[in-house]
Structure 1
Amino acid sequence: MINPEFLDWITTLTGKVPRDERLYIRAVTHGSFGDDDYQRLEFLGDRVLGVTIATQLYHQFPNEPEGKLSQRLNGLVSGKVCGEIASEIGFSDHLLLGKQARDDGARQSNKVLGDVMESLIGALYLDHGSDAAKQFVLKYWGDRISGMAKDIRHPKSALQEWAAAHNRKMPVYELIEKSGPHHDLRFTVKVSVNKVGAVEASATSKQTAETEAAKLFLEKHT
């Protein structure tokens, strides 16, 4: 039986009364809970999120070249940002998880929350169409789009430029550790610049860990 409080939460969150309630149940169902999980909706929602943000960036930053728009887009649709937004709006309380996933901390997993955020966008798109999904995305991503700094160089690019400007060898990235359960892997990466220093950072993907390490290096050594 579908919990009416959950449907009320969905209505408040999206501004739309669910037509196909099963879509929203599926959107919060983890694979550990049942076979009819959120992965297919996540696949769809990821694409809807991407084109919505890309379109908004195209119009909001009319003078920027493709490269800078891509940097903005990659940051805004990252799993980290999706997970942060999902946490802010209370997704953790509504996830349907199996016992093992609950014991492993999936309810607080930024990766799981990010995936579910995308799956909800997919469910809303199927249930109410592209306009509803677009309005939902812009409502919860709008401040992040508007508040983006003008200097949007990727931290890895900025670190590489700094090293070149100071006659240093290029930064070297090394995967130090990969740990955690399958649904919430953690990658620890070390970045080092010869004769300057080294910094480590952890994240839910190797690429993000490298980015965080570069950012920390710049903060510490420049």
Structure 2
Amino acid sequence: MAQLPPQRQKSLVRLMERLGFSDHAQIRWDLLDLALTHPSISPDRNYEQLEFIGDAVVRLAASEVLYAQYPDEPVGEFAAIRSILVSDRTLAEFAESYNFQKFLLYHGHYENAGLISLLADAFEATLGALFLSTNDLSLVHPWLDEPLKAKAAEIKRDPARQNYKDALQVWTQSEHHTLPTYRVKKNLQSKSEEDFFFAEVWLNETLLASGLGRSKKAAQQAAARQAYERAIAETPQPKH
């Protein structure tokens, strides 16, 4: 193991154990430490270059998973699903599931600037570090394939492809020949960054739904999802 402070070494080992690794022989600890160091801690020694590598790694890993899981899907479908799999939102979800935030060195005020982006960047950088440790995906596939498969299956079951604002817009144009509007404000009752903003979605003078989110965009998506799912549930289905 590279010469890192003992506490940092123990922390990185715990992260690898969370990912399922008991054999650490191939892991480049210096790169892993770098992957979990935000530029706010060190402007010259941080995860930015590894993030660049990791962006390509996650796209390749997702492509291989999709090709193996859905061999008969058209390329366009592959591209649509992969775009969601490698989005900041999905990567941040993966990072949260392994509690990446606990192992990331950064100044706390960056959470307010965008925790999703922070976690997604660190996640990609970690993939870059693991790839460069072996120059292949042998340290990536064993733990990342299952989350990718589960998320891909979830996306395929979702007719809105997790973009509920677009899906709701298509529905309102089709059914009412108009577009929904959003009203967003800070949620003054919030006790968590998860629901910092409150959004309402309206169709003309009718309130369709409301939602909460850690950003204005997330709150709008939450409101759109509620409205879209209600609309689909209330729309009569054709008889077969």
TM-score (norm 2): 0.70
Structure 1 position 141 matched with structure 2 position 148: yes
Shift of 1:213: 3.7
Q: In structure 2, do the counterparts of structure 1 residues 127 and 143 end up closer, same or farther at CA, with 3 Å as the change threshold?
A: same
Structure 1 position 193 matched with structure 2 position 203: yes
Shift of 1:38: 1.1
Aligned to 2:178: 169
**Partner amino acid for 2:127?**
I
**Partner amino acid for 1:74?**
S
Q: In structure 2, do the counterparts of structure 1 residues 152 and 50 end up closer, same or farther at CA, with 3 Å as the change threshold?
A: farther
Paired residues of 1:188 and 1:202 also in contact (CA < 8 A): yes
Residue-by-residue CA offset, 1:147-167 (whole Å, 9 max, x unaligned): 444343332343233213323
Aligned to 1:111: 117
Whole-angstrom CA distance in 1 between matches of 2:86 and 2:216: 14
Q: Mapping of 1:6-17 within 5 angstroms?
A: 6-12=11-17, 13=19, 15=21, 17=24
Structure 1 position 28 matched with structure 2 position 36: yes
Whole-angstrom CA distance in 2 between matches of 1:63 and 1:195: 45
Q: In structure 2, do the counterparts of structure 1 residues 151 and 139 end up closer, same or farther at CA, with 3 Å as the change threshold?
A: closer
Aligned to 1:4: 9
Shift of 1:124: 0.3
Q: Mapping of 1:32-111 within 5 angstroms?
A: 32-35=40-43, 36-97=45-106, 101-103=107-109, 105=111, 109-111=115-117
Paired residues of 1:201 and 1:213 also in contact (CA < 8 A): yes
Superposition RMSD in Å: 3.3
Q: Percent identity?
A: 25
Shift of 1:218: 1.4
Paired residues of 1:189 and 1:200 also in contact (CA < 8 A): yes
Aligned to 1:183: none
SS at match of 1:112: helix
**Partner amino acid for 1:124?**
L
**Partner amino acid for 1:47?**
A
Residue-by-residue CA offset, 1:71-101 (whole Å, 9 max, x unaligned): 322222222221222122122221112xxx2
Paired residues of 1:87 and 1:113 also in contact (CA < 8 A): yes
Residue-by-residue CA offset, 1:11-61 (whole Å, 9 max, x unaligned): 422635254321011111011111211122112112211121123223322
**Partner amino acid for 2:133?**
D
Shift of 1:145: 2.7
Shift of 1:204: 4.8
**Which residue of 117, 127, 136 corresponds with 1:121?**
127
SS at match of 2:108: helix
Paired residues of 1:19 and 1:127 also in contact (CA < 8 A): yes
**Partner amino acid for 2:145?**
L
Paired residues of 2:200 and 2:220 also in contact (CA < 8 A): yes
**Partner amino acid for 1:137?**
L
SS at match of 1:62: coil
Paired residues of 2:27 and 2:130 also in contact (CA < 8 A): no
Q: In structure 2, do the counterparts of structure 1 residues 151 and 64 end up closer, same or farther at CA, with 3 Å as the change threshold?
A: farther
